[in-house]
Amino acid sequence: MSYTKLARFYDAVIGDRRDTATYICDLIHRYNPKTRTVLEIACGTGAVLGLLSQAYEVTGLDRSRNMLAIARRKLPHVKLYLQDITSFHLNQRFDAIICVFDSINHLPRFSDWQKVFRGVKAHLSDGGLFIFDVNTPGRLHRLSHSPPWATAFGRNWQILTITKGRDSIYNWHVRVLEHRRGNHYQLHAETIPELAVPMKDLMNWAVRTPRVGKIELLVRASKEPAIRLYTKLGFVEEGRFKNRISLPDGKYVDDIAMAWFPRRTTS
């Protein structure tokens, strides 16, 4: 299972998540300002959830025992569940559900992504908001042609290489060199597969599927503010990045956050 060895290094490598949490709070405030309860699916170590807990009543779930154990230590008052995002059942509905840091790409089949959307729908309150982000095929392709990234944290190193696997899978080879003494390091290695789904497939599915409701793509180019790119009627380009953004393949799009608003329904 992924993140078994990496869990204890995760927070130190990833660093401060304040930007992500602020961005999510802004989206929630903009699209569902009455939000009181937030569920994060695939919450990992609770890095984002902890920050959101300052503004909302939060709940989290993840399938990695090791990631969740860290979240439990950091957030003893938060309800955290060991569950799979493709089949979760909680006896509660939430005003907003989030799934961030490309967690949905971790599911190797698009049919699993659809199970997540169905689960989310079943757990959203009337008019609730789902926010998720994805690594686009364009970004994964670019990363697989990039040299390895090395990140120092404390006296340790993380080295990340992304390779193209079979079909639309990209493998993230994560190696952590944990400093022992002098020039000695202990190697911890894991490979995390991510599925690339063309944005147009995701959008076409969303548009075709009854009751999915309105779905928008909010594109962030590096640290620039989000701009709205998609409405249910078709792709709508707004804002300053018109010439730099190529949809639907996401060729020039680095990071996409999606906000999905299920239609009001009682079922």
Q: Which of 44, 213, 248, 250 binds ligand SAM (CB under 6 A)?
A: 44
3-class secondary-structure state, position 236? coil
CA atoms within 13 A on the CB side of 81: 16
The count of chain residues that interact with ligand SAM, using the rule CB under 6 A, is: 19
Minimum CB–partner distance for residue 65 and ligand SAM (Å):
9
Using alpha carbons, list the distances in angstroms from residue 81 to 39, 62, 63, 71, 226: 11, 7, 8, 10, 31
**Residue 62 engages ligand SAM in binding (rule: CB under 6 A):** yes
Instruction: Classify 69 as helix, strand or coil.
Output: helix
Other CB atoms closer than 10 Å to residue 186's CB: what's the count?
10
User: Does residue 158 belong to the site contacting ligand SAM (CB under 6 A)?
Assistant: no
Q: Quote the least distance from Cβ 103 to ligand SAM, whole Å.
A: 4
Smallest gap from residue 45 Cβ to ligand SAM (A): 6
Q: What are phi and psi of 40, to 5 degrees?
A: -105, 120
For ligand SAM, the binding residue among 103, 135, 136, 156 (CB under 6 A) is 103
x/- letters, 71..100, toward ligand SAM (CB under 6 A): -------------xxx-------------x
- Choose which of 28, 51, 67, 253 interacts with ligand SAM (CB under 6 A): 67
Q: What span, in angstroms and rounded, lies between the C-alpha atoms of 169 and 105?
A: 9
Q: Is the link from the previous residue into 248 a cis peptide, with omega within 30 of 0?
A: yes
As given in the structure block, the two tokens for residue 122 are 């079943």
Tell whether residue 3 is a contact of ligand SAM (CB under 6 A).
yes
**Among 36-44, 170-178, 215-223, 251-259, the segment contacting ligand SAM (CB under 6 A):** 36-44
| Token reading at 27 | 């989206």
Compute the chain's Rg from CA coordinates.
18
Nearest residue to ligand SAM on Cβ basis: 44
Is 135 one of the binding residues for ligand SAM (CB under 6 A)? no
Which residues make up the interface to ligand SAM (CB under 6 A)?
2-3, 42-44, 47-48, 62-64, 67, 84-86, 100-101, 103, 106-107
